[in-house]
Amino acid sequence: MSTDALATLALHQFNAIVQSTPGLRVRDGQQRMAQQVADTFAQTRLRGEAGETESDTSEHAIAVIEAGTGVGKSLAYAAPAIQMALARGTRVLIATATVSLQEQLVHKDLPALAAAMSEPFSFALAKGRARYVCKLKLERLASDESAVDDGLFPEDPDAPGKEAAETREARSAFYTRLADDLASGLWEGDRDQLAIPPDPALWSPIAAVAHTCTGRHCPLFATCTYYERRKELVAAQVIVANHDLLLSSIGARLLPDLSNCLLIIDEAHHLPRTALAQFACEMDISRLAWLQQLASRALRVASQVEVESDIDVAASSARLRVALQDAERLVIDLYGAPLREAMARAPGKPASHRARAPRGELPPPLSEALAQVLQHAGDLLQGLRAIAQALREHIREEPADARRLSQLYAQVGQLAPRLEAVHASASLLLQEAPQGGAPAAKWFTLASAGDAPVVRAHASPLLPGAALAAHLWSAVRGAVLTSATLTSCGNFDFFLREAGLSDDAGVTTLQVASPFDYARQGTLTASRTEALPRDVAAFTRQMVRALLDDLAQVRSGALVLFTSREQMRQAVEQLPPALRTIVLVQGQQPRLKLLAAHRERVARGAPSVIFGLQSFGEGLDLPGALCETLFITKLPFAPPDEPVDEARAEWLRASGGDPFMELVVPATAMRLAQWVGRAIRSEDDHAQVICYDKRLLHTGYGRRLLHGLPAFTLRERGAPAETTA
């Protein structure tokens, strides 16, 4: 089928669904988005597809689409993409940033679409394997009280033996209850099905992680929850995952091959930050008890199987320990003075210090020590892999002993991620900047633990775009990236740079405006304070006074967004009794409970105000009366104190750039647009936004921020008169 025919078929399916579904109507913006999705995927040449040539392997088609609130983007991308996948015999992979959107897609949008489409399709939710239980490890911990000592608790190898009796009993009761529920069918082995999310320290020892899994060699493989879910994924034509899983599984077989599927990345504005977190590394170079345990377990296994390897595990472990201790000593000598001074001033009190290597350049002695760490960690990893391979072969040859040997494998594997983290961290810490390129960000954290410091080493790529270009886009043939906020200050330039797509000839951008009439439905009031935000104390005092005056006028639902916890604390402290009864504060109760209380108050006609921080500025859906007023206490500039941001600003300045205008302002513009997006959620909503930061109207960069916001009716209000007690 030709490219034009494929696009026409996909768009026809979208139009048929819109016309046949009660409550839906044709929207110009949604139609334009669906057309772009159809055109993009029609141009995609998948690996192995008829007509593909060698030249196709380096080409791809990617659409970056900003779809304003109310466009209906999930239908606009899902209907044409799924129709095209069915026509071409391939699959659709949708990756989101939040659990709430995943649940909406899997439980609402995709079932409705499957019922409306002319051709049926199957879909499934993909999760990381750590979300599922390992039945073999659970069996061990639920049936044998001594199992808490056999190495399935990775956080502190010495901790289980030192636990109080009541804590050990609580652990045992937890695992016994899970095992009983699993056996009775009350629970299927999915962590997310548990009524109360378990403590990570309790869940980690029973998670079905790859390092502890012998796969098809496990005696419980036939009933494994994780592998049952994988079968569903193999059969599904549409798979919903998250950004983390998308990036972490590149090259693995969990998700569809990116060169042979249609990829949709929703909530795409999160992707660059997720990439930085995904490709960053860190390691503990102080607490090394795990290393001895890992070696002893590996040697115990090696004594029972025949291993083909020249690596001396005991010697490699000992050499790695010495190298890590040398690195720790050098870090303390080089960067530990502030921590020692803090510990001396306040003995026994917690203290911490962070030191970043300027320009990503480590002192030569520290680089030499880390080179030794890298070498010995690599040797030990090689030895462990040989032992693991031999153990798997032995399990296959001796199925009667598979249960015991699989449990040994799990004990060794539980500590293997620490060794891999050491190897990866040392490698990135030693990485030199490419010619003309950005160096990695490198830093160390030191914290007091009794009389001795605990030292951690960290490294991260500096540019998310470079990491995404190397790891993701090089594998992708066809993709659509979408979100309500992908432009910054009115253009796509910042996002394209951050996402690694700015110089990509295969990229097309489209901005689809919201169907809402913002000028009619809402107002944006810039309420001035005399003090500038950089005068923190005076600004906060004046802002809180103006905020309290405005809150007294609230008659329905309202949301107040703060830029810091301290700012929110001061506002809470100054609430008069009449307002204290209507304010709900983030963190004082669980999020779902807080939102339920807010909805209940508004439903009975009472005023209700939510005080929230950054996490309430995005993804929070409060339509209609639930948010008739949105208060923004201060422009949401991120504090410039994160090591990666500091290192990037340093590199930009050295390259002749302006970090504030090139990084800070564009990032703030996207964050502010997300915040403002909480106000108008439907075509029937009416709301006002009040911002207390006068920089929005009275600075050049403020006007750039304003340019990226919806076209509210704009008003300005003067500063309130200063009063004294």
459-487 residue pLDDT tens: 999 999 999 999 999 999 999 999 999 99
Amino acid residing at 243: H
Is residue 111 classed as helix, strand or coil in its secondary structure? helix
pLDDT tier at 144, thresholds 50, 70, 90: low
Tokens of 396: 């296959």
Angle (deg, nearest 10), helices 665-676 and 700-707: 50
Q: Which residue has the tokens 């008003």?
A: 715
pLDDT at 713 exceeding the cut of 60 = yes
> What is the rounded distance in angstroms from the CA atom of residue 220 to the CA atom of residue 136?
7
Identical fold at 3-122+236-276+465-512 and 518-717? Answer: yes
Show Cβ contacts of residue 244 under 8 Å, excluding neighbours closer than 6 positions: 128, 274, 277, 278
pLDDT of residue 720: 56
Q: Which helix (H) or strand (E) holds 441?
A: strand 441-449
User: Cβ distance 213 to 402 under 8 Å?
Assistant: no
pLDDT at 265 exceeding the cut of 50 = yes
User: Cβ distance 172 to 144 under 8 Å?
Assistant: no
Q: Which of 273, 291, 293, 226 is nearest to 421 (CA)?
A: 291
Planar angle of CA 712, 713, 719, nearest 5 degrees: 110
pLDDT tier at 145, thresholds 50, 70, 90: low
User: Cβ distance 35 to 480 under 8 Å?
Assistant: no
The stretch 338-356 carries a mean pLDDT of 80
Bridge partner residues of 190 (DSSP):
132
The predicted model scores a pTM of 0.89
Q: Which of 134-143, 156-165, 211-220, 396-405 has the least mean pLDDT? A: 156-165
Percent of the chain with pLDDT over 90: 67
Phi, psi (5° rounding) for residue 242?
-120, 170
pLDDT of residue 285: 94
Angle (deg, nearest 10), helices 536-551 and 565-573: 50
Bridge partner residues of 353 (DSSP):
446
**Strand 238-242 versus strand 91-96 pairing type:** parallel
Which pairs from 436-439 meet CB under 8 Å and 24+ separation?
437/466, 438/462, 438/463, 438/466, 438/648, 438/651, 439/359, 439/360, 439/361, 439/647, 439/651
Percent of the chain with pLDDT over 70: 94
pLDDT at 432 exceeding the cut of 60 = yes
Structural domain spans, the chain:
3-122+236-276+465-512, 129-229, 287-460, 518-717
Tokens of 202: 């309790």
pLDDT of residue 147: 53
Give me the chain's average pLDDT, please: 89
Is residue 475 classed as helix, strand or coil in its secondary structure? coil
Could you read off the pLDDT of 660-711 as tens digits, one per residue? 999 999 999 999 999 999 999 988 999 999 999 999 999 999 999 999 999 9
Phi, psi (5° rounding) for residue 537?
-65, -50
pLDDT at 534 exceeding the cut of 60 = yes
pLDDT of residue 163: 52
pLDDT of residue 393: 87
Could you read off the pLDDT of 64-115 as tens digits, one per residue? 999 999 899 999 999 999 999 999 999 999 999 988 889 899 999 999 999 9
pLDDT at 302 exceeding the cut of 90 = no
Show Cβ contacts of residue 54 under 8 Å, excluding neighbours closer than 6 positions: none
User: Cβ distance 428 to 459 under 8 Å?
Assistant: yes
User: Half-sphere exposure of residue 604, counting CA atoms within 13 Å on the CB side?
Assistant: 7
> What is the rounded distance in angstroms from the CA atom of residue 460 to the CA atom of residue 439?
9
Q: Please, what's the b/e burial string for 63-86 (b: 16 or more CB within 10 A of its CB; e: otherwise)?
A: bbbbbbbbbbbbbbbbbbbbbbbb
pLDDT of residue 153: 57
> What is the rounded distance in angstroms from the CA atom of residue 663 to the CA atom of residue 318?
45
pLDDT of residue 152: 56
The stretch 111-133 carries a mean pLDDT of 93
Tokens of 673: 């647009």
Q: Which residue has the tokens 């775009």?
A: 465
User: Cβ distance 474 to 250 under 8 Å?
Assistant: no
Question: 3-122+236-276+465-512 falls under which CATH superfamily?
Answer: P-loop containing nucleotide triphosphate hydrolases (3.40.50.300)
Phi, psi (5° rounding) for residue 584?
-110, 125
> What is the rounded distance in angstroms from the CA atom of residue 476 to the CA atom of residue 462?
22
> What is the rounded distance in angstroms from the CA atom of residue 625 to the CA atom of residue 557?
6
Tokens of 12: 């026809």
Q: Which fold has domain 518-717?
A: Rossmann fold (3.40.50)
